[in-house]
């Protein structure tokens, strides 16, 4: 059985639930027991001390059962691990049972129901509280009618019905307030969700290009620096490549920037289809991209990048059926101990060679 160490998020949540259950049951149970004990001392408890002791032994046995269920972690099997609804229903049942035995101060006992409702305002749906309230006021009325039938001498029915009507009105007011609080809670939850989406978007924009979804230049250089350090320790080979879309300015001028953006997105998609999880591609600027192939040798990189070049050359664009887009690529395998600028400089020189030799080709840096 898992202990109560809060070394993980799940254990921490379970610990908070246990403390909440303990407080709700112990504090609520003590308040209820005290009110009924005072009634017993005033001789308003039907059956006297023996009935009081037997009833509250049974009630506290139920309280302890709820605590043990939570302590052993069985509450995790429920839809709501916080045990809010089971505690609300059990506490309401306890009030109704004690209302059968308490005379004269029955309303004082039933007023504890509002403390029960307050516990569920922030954790239950409004319809769940409404159902609980309807059952409570109906059962309260049923208890009064049964007492009037079996023990007519024990109560003033007119006064009891007035108290019951007061209880109903107060319960209705609490339910209306709970509905308002629930609406506010839902709005806050939606605002928090929207705020979370905004934070995620900001964090995403900090590392990714908004148009293509690829890494941006700053983050790519940070990640490449770490990969280079690992490669220096002989962990693996790595290849860096610059890719530049050929005559991209003409595409924008002849077909519009919307199609140009689509070309960039399609190149990013084709690249993502070929790269493994350890590799990455970044938009380096404009129509230029940086590809980093981890655990790849020169031959493997050449084959993969040539496949990328061929896939792009065969891509079709419905907005411009006659358009064919090509890419020039220069790559360089990392040399252990080589400076980052020198490594990328060799890849850049290979790219210029590819463009000078007629574009639409993959060129590997010497050495």
Which positions are annotated as active-site residues? 287
Q: Phi and psi for 213 in degrees, rounded to 5?
A: 80, 0
Q: What is the DSSP letter of 216?
A: P
Give the whole-angstrom CA distance, residue 142 versus residue 138: 6
CB atoms within 10 A of CB 248: 17
Neighbour tally for 365: CB within 10 Å: 21
What token pair was written down for 305? Answer: 């990048």
SS3 per-residue string spanning 304-324: HHHHHHHHHHCCCCCCCCCCC
Helix-helix angle 257-274:248-255, to 10 degrees: 140
Residues 6 or more apart in contact with residue 289 via CB below 8 angstroms: 214, 242, 243, 244, 267, 271, 281, 282, 283
H-run or E-run covering 57: helix 48-71
Is residue 262 a contact partner of residue 319, using CB atoms and an 8 Å limit?
yes
Dist. CA 169–CA 162, nearest whole Å: 11
**d(Cα 214, Cα 217) in Å, to the nearest integer?**
9
Our separate counts of H helices and E strands in the chain read 12, 5
> What would the DSSP string read from start to end of 117-160?
HHHHHTTS-HHHHHHHHHHHHHHHHHHHHHHHHH-GGG--HHHH
Q: What is the maximum alpha-carbon separation in the chain?
A: 111
């Amino acid at each position: 059985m898992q202990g109560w160490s809060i070394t993980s998020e799940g254990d921490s949540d379970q610990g908070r639930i246990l403390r909440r259950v303990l407080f709700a049951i112990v504090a609520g149970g003590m308040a209820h027991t005290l009110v009924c004990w005072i009634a017993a001392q005033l001789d308003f408890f039907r059956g006297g001390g023996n009935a009081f002791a037997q009833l509250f032994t049974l009630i506290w046995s139920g309280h302890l059962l709820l605590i043990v269920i939570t302590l052993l972690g069985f509450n995790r099997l429920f839809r709501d691990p916080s045990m809010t609804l089971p505690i609300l229903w059990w506490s309401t049942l306890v009030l109704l049972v004690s209302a059968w035995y308490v005379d004269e101060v029955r309303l004082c006992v039933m007023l504890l129901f509002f403390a029960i409702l307050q516990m569920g305002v922030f954790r239950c749906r409004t319809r769940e509280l409404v159902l609980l309230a309807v059952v409570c006021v109906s059962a309260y009325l049923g208890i009064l009618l049964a007492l009037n039938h079996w023990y007519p001498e024990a109560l003033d029915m007119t006064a009891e019905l007035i108290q019951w009507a007061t209880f109903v009105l107060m319960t209705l007011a609490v339910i209306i307030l709970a509905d308002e609080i629930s609406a506010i809670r839902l709005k806050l939850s939606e605002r928090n969700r929207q705020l979370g989406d905004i934070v995620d978007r900001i964090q995403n924009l900090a590392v990714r290009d908004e148009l293509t979804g690829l890494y941006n230049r700053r983050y790519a250089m940070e990640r490449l620096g770490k990969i280079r350090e690992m490669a220096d320790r002989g962990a693996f080979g790595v290849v860096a490549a610059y890719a530049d879309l050929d005559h991209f300015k003409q595409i924008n001028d002849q077909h519009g920037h919307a199609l140009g953006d689509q070309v960039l997105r399609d190149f990013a998609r084709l690249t993502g289809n070929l790269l493994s999880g350890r590799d990455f591609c970044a938009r380096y600027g404009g129509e230029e991209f940086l590809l980093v192939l981890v655990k790849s040798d020169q031959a493997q990189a050449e084959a993969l990048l040539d496949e990328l070049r061929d896939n792009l050359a065969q891509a079709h664009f419905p907005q411009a059926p006659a358009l064919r887009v090509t890419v020039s690529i220069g790559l360089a395998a990392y040399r252990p101990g080589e400076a980052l600028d020198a490594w990328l400089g060799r890849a850049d020189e290979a790219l210029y060679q590819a463009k000078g030799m007629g574009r639409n080709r993959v060129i590997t840096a010497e050495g």
